[in-house]
A and B are shown apart, each in its own frame.
Chain A
Amino acid sequence: MKRYWKFIVPAGIVVVILIVLMISLNSSLVYFNTPTELTEQAADGGRLRLGGQVVPGSVADTTAGVTFDVTDGRESVTVVHVGAPQQLFQEGIGVVVEGTWDGTSFHSDTMLVKHDETYTSDEGDYDPNHPTGDGSDEA
């Protein structure tokens, strides 16, 4: 019977640690905030991440970068991005931006493109000038 305890005790400890970790880390395991969550919270000037889809038709170039709206389907937030957008950045794609929220718009200096899990063929509309993009919005 003794040798089973050698296994059960550490196993129990590990499981308890895992559960405590999971519960306490649950909020920090969330990689980004949605526009809905952002609009519900006060602007405290802290750095955070915002993620959502780029609203088609909202993208405009600025001298310092690009502005666009990000939506989660319920709320949308205007993002003022400083710096070059990512290679795959386009209307309708998912993005995660890092920066500060001032209550009305999100000031970002870091952009990540969050592509989704769906894949479809580009049906041959291949543009050699944009080998990684879909080429259709340029043509």
Chain B
Amino acid sequence: MKVQTRIRWWPWAAVALSLVVAFTLSMISPRDDVQGELVRIMYIHVPAAWLAYVAFFMTFVGSLTYLLTKNLRWDRIAAASAEIGVFFTGLTLVLGMIWGKSTWGVWWTWDARLTLTAIMFFVYLGYLALRRTTDDPVARASRASVLGVLGAVQIPIVHFSVVWWRTLHQPPSIVRPDSPAIQEPLMLITLIVGVVAFTIIYISLMIKRIELTHLEDQLTEIEHSTDQPVAGEAVVVPELGARP
């Protein structure tokens, strides 16, 4: 049986180009008045957090659509998106810790934003673990979809935690009730380009991950089509009480 999934090369090119543009801009944009060079961490930290929000929102859309249509295709989209979201939430946390150590003075503190982000990370890690509790694609999709829908409640809570409660983490600079808080045009452009670049990276990773899912499905199909015992002739099935 031949592999029937088209392997695209351009998502990798898009990822590379996005990274180069975002990195170059973040290096030529000016130092911050207070933070100096440290402000450059923002140009990865904020886009990474944005990507995580987008990814978990797509998990919500995929899960909800699965529950309504029972089409497994949507469950695959939800799963692929959750994997990417977990990775970039982790990246956001690590970058935030590095930034926090150098500006606040601590790697970690239990303020509302940091705590809720950590909870979101573990909830979606739980989502991925839940997917491994069964091999049955339909049962897996139903269980995961419920969590995929409920988990999305956290996205606005995490984002607006810094507005609703008094936290150490600063409030958002762009997506907030007022106009953007970044006056310097090159800084604002760098941040927006970073967010666009990470959105392109998300789409590219999704395309590659769904390609991989198709390949996995084909592999499973091949394994199931050849009607053989899993262990071949290496294992002899014991016969209980059959012999006289």
Q: Which residues of A contact B (CB under 8 A)?
A: 6-7, 10-11, 14-15, 18, 26, 29-32, 51, 86-88, 90, 93, 96, 111-123, 126, 130-134
Contacts and interface: CB of A to CB of B under 8 A. Distances in A.
B183 to A, nearest CB: 6
Q: Taking chain A's interface residues, is the majority helix, strand, or loop, or is none over half, making it mixed?
A: loop
Contacts of A90: 34
16 contacts: A7-B149, A10-B146, A31-B112, A31-B165, A31-B168, A32-B168, A111-B105, A113-B103, A114-B170, A117-B172, A118-B173, A119-B182, A120-B182, A121-B30, A123-B30, A134-B33
A86 B168 CA distance: 15
Given A11-B146, A11-B149, 20 more contacts: A7-B149, A18-B153, A29-B112, A29-B165, A31-B168, A90-B34, A93-B34, A112-B109, A115-B104, A116-B171, A119-B33, A119-B35, A119-B42, A119-B182, A120-B183, A122-B30, A131-B37, A132-B35, A134-B33, A134-B36
Contacts of B187: 119-121
Contacts of B31: 121-122, 126
Contacts of A131: 36-37
Closest 10 CB pairs of A and B: A121-B30, A132-B36, A117-B170, A29-B165, A86-B105, A31-B111, A121-B184, A117-B173, A29-B112, A118-B181
A88 B102 CA distance: 9
Contacts of B176: 117
Contacts of B168: 31-32, 96, 112, 114
Interface in B92-107: 102-106
Interface of B: 30-39, 42, 67, 102-106, 109, 111-112, 146, 149-150, 153, 161, 165-168, 170-173, 176, 181-184, 186-187
Contacts of A132: 35-38, 102
Contact of A134 (B34, B181, B186): B34
A90 B35 CA distance: 11
A117 B35 contact: no
Contact of A14 (B34, B150, B167): B150
Contacts of B171: 116-117
A109 B22 CA distance: 40
Q: Taking chain B's interface residues, is the majority helix, strand, or loop, or is none over half, making it mixed?
A: loop
Nearest to B187: A119
Given A88-B34, A88-B35, A31 B167 contact: yes
Given A10-B146, A132-B38, A30 B166 contact: yes
Contacts of A117: 170-173, 176, 181
A96 B106 CA distance: 12
A30 B32 CA distance: 28
Nearest to B146: A7
Contacts of A134: 33-34, 36
A130 B38 CA distance: 12
B131 to A, nearest CB: 17
B186 A121 contact: yes
B166 A112 contact: no
B105 A113 contact: yes
A36 to B, nearest CB: 12
Nearest to B185: A121
Contacts of B181: 116-119
Given A120-B32, A122-B32, A126-B31, A86 B104 contact: yes
